């Protein structure tokens, strides 16, 4: 929090709750004229004399008409979300009421807030740093428990904390190096190069852990697309049903049952996976509908983060190998899954497919090894030793800056290896500090802020 909040001249207003019918809707006002604008609309006098964090019941009156009975929440600068004077009006949750109150506030001098503008003001007043502001948007958009948990961690400053220690150490070192430069005639070294070297080494490892977590972070934030691909009758729809544990897709012994793609959501360890069942792929298609279905299957296969390549274990190993080669050649990430194990003895299966050790064998119909398959799907998005308990990077902007941090740390290390002079080392350290500041928002420009806050909804 900054010592003295920046209060914007223009007062903004917006509904903070989703449009539509609800028990209540909340309308927010923030800015210099918050109290005077609210006072013109509200029945109770002397609003600005009331203590902060108090609620007031009364009516909203505009042009002599009572618009609604409301509860008004009052937050005085700097003790509010934005750091400015803020008023939250809880009215009845009708879109008409909400719209009229917002319009009335605009007539009295407020202007409609832009997306994320309340949070932008909170950021400018140091109420939260940029990673925390971004976490607000992520939390609102979270669609799974894992996404919620990660966003709350970021909201509580986890990403910034990871970088704070590195930042402090770098600042200390650059100060010592600057000091050396002041005494350059005397050929002294204050900054212990061995210590800097060890610190940079640790930092490279820590930052690499963060960049490694991005694949999981991205999966947590956006969900993972999984396509079930295979020949007609391999049992793809039966597998979809088994994964979901419900009869979602039509199953039949007729090859070509599924014509269009079917998409359903499955949570594995609280991460969201979108599972797509597709039309069976075969060379000889019968008619235009099947042709279109196959086209769509191929498209889903290419879009998926991971493909379950399902084959019937009555097929020969050679046939399956050919398909596996095709997938590998297209750089598609896939798990080979042999289906219908209930029809063969397990010894026979291992003999038949000895050349495909990575394959998992299931019976979709009998629901055997479905849990193992779920675990394999989940593991496919977690790289290395990243666990959901670690700090996880979910944001592309952070990822890009972290890669630059990593590069500048490597530059510092290379520079020391080559024994470069202190002033050049100081320059590399400054680069690194700059990129750290880009993540947390200490170094920023209007374009970055516009980009970050454009992703918010209006009223947040």
Ligand X SMILES: Nc1nc2c(ncn2[C@@H]2O[C@H](COP(=O)(O)OP(=O)(O)OP(=O)(O)O)[C@@H](O)[C@H]2O)c(=O)[nH]1
Q: What SS3 class is residue 175? A: helix
Chain position carrying tokens 């207003």: 13
Q: Does residue 364 interact with ligand X by CB under 6 A?
A: yes
CB of 319 closer than 8 Å to CB of 336:
no
Q: Which is nearer to ligand X, 276 or 364 (CB)?
A: 364
Q: Does residue 257 interact with ligand X by CB under 6 A?
A: yes
β partners of residue 228: 277, 308
Could you tell me which residues come within 8 angstroms of residue 360 by beta carbon, excluding any fewer than 6 positions away?
A: 335, 336, 337, 338, 369, 372, 373, 376
Chain position carrying tokens 């675990």: 375
Binding mask 213-252 for Mg ion (x = CB under 5 A): -----------------------xx---------------
With b for 16 or more beta-carbon neighbours within 10 A and e for fewer, the 409-424 pattern comes to bebbbebbeeeeebee
Q: Which is nearer to ligand X, 69 or 319 (CB)?
A: 319
Which does residue 337 touch among Mg ion, ligand X, none (CB within 5 to 8 A, set by kind)? Answer: none
Radius of gyration of the chain (CA): 30
* Residue range at the interface with ligand X (CB under 6 A); choices 6-14, 132-140, 362-370, 388-396: 362-370
Binding mask 311-340 for ligand X (x = CB under 6 A): ----------------------------xx
CB of 243 closer than 8 Å to CB of 370:
yes
Q: Does residue 132 interact with ligand X by CB under 6 A?
A: no
Among 78, 235, 422, 459, interactor with ligand X by CB under 6 A: 235
Q: Does residue 202 interact with Mg ion by CB under 5 A?
A: no
Minimum Å gap between C-beta 269 and ligand X is 25
Compute the distance between CA of residue 305 and CA of residue 352 in angstroms, rounded to an integer: 29
Q: Does residue 363 interact with ligand X by CB under 6 A?
A: yes
Minimum Å gap between C-beta 357 and ligand X is 21
Q: Does residue 89 interact with ligand X by CB under 6 A?
A: no
Q: Does residue 251 interact with ligand X by CB under 6 A?
A: yes
Q: What SS3 class is residue 189? A: coil
CB of 260 closer than 8 Å to CB of 281:
no
Q: Does residue 261 interact with Mg ion by CB under 5 A?
A: no
Q: Does residue 300 interact with ligand X by CB under 6 A?
A: no
Compute the distance between CA of residue 102 and CA of residue 111 in angstroms, rounded to an integer: 9
Binding site for ligand X (CB under 6 A): 230, 232-238, 251-253, 255-258, 279-280, 339-340, 342-343, 363-365
């Amino acid at each position: 929090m900054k010592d003295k909040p920046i209060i914007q001249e223009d007062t903004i207003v917006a509904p903070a709750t989703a449009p539509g019918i609800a028990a209540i809707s909340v309308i927010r006002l923030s800015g210099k004229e918050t109290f005077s604008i609210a006072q013109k609309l509200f029945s109770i006098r002397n609003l600005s004399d009331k203590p902060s964090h108090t609620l007031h019941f009364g009516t909203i009156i505009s042009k002599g008409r009572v618009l609604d009975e409301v509860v008004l929440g009052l937050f005085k600068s700097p003790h509010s979300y934005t750091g400015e004077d803020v008023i939250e009006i809880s009215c009845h949750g009708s879109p008409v009421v909400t719209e009229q109150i917002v319009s009335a506030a605009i007539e009295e001098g407020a202007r409609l807030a832009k997306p994320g503008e309340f949070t932008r003001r909170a950021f400018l007043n140091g109420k939260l740093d940029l990673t925390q502001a971004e976490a607000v948007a992520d939390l609102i958009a979270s669609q799974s428990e894992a996404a919620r948990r990660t966003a709350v961690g970021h909201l509580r400053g986890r990403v910034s904390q990871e970088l704070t220690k590195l930042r402090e150490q770098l600042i200390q070192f650059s100060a010592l190096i600057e000091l050396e430069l002041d005494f350059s005639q005397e050929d002294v070294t204050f900054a212990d190069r061995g210590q800097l070297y060890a610190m940079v080494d640790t930092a490279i490892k820590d930052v690499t852990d963060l960049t490694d977590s991005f694949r999981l972070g991205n999966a947590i934030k956006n969900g993972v697309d999984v396509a079930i691909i295979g020949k007609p009758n391999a049992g793809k729809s039966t597998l979809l049903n088994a994964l979901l544990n419900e009869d979602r897709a039509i199953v039949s012994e007729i090859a070509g049952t599924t014509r269009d793609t079917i998409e359903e959501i499955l949570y594995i360890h609280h991460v969201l996976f979108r599972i797509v069942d597709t039309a069976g792929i075969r060379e000889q298609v019968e008619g235009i509908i099947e042709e279109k279905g196959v086209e769509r299957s191929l498209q889903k296969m290419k879009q998926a983060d991971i493909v379950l390549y399902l084959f019937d274990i009555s097929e020969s190993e050679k046939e399956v190998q050919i398909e596996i080669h095709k997938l590998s050649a297209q750089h598609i990430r896939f798990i080979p899954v042999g289906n219908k194990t209930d029809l063969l003895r397990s010894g026979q299966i291992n003999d038949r497919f000895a050349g495909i050790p990575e394959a998992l064998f299931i019976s979709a119909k009998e629901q055997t090894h479905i849990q193992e398959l779920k675990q394999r799907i989940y593991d496919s998005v977690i790289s290395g030793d990243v666990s959901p308990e670690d700090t996880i990077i979910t944001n592309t902007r952070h990822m890009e800056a972290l890669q630059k941090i990593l590069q500048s740390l490597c530059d510092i290390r290379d520079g020391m290896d080559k024994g470069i002079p202190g002033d050049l080392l100081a320059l590399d350290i400054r680069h690194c500090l700059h990129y750290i500041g880009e993540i947390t928002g200490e170094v920023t420009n209007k374009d970055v802020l516009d980009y970050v806050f454009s992703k918010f909804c209006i009223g947040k």
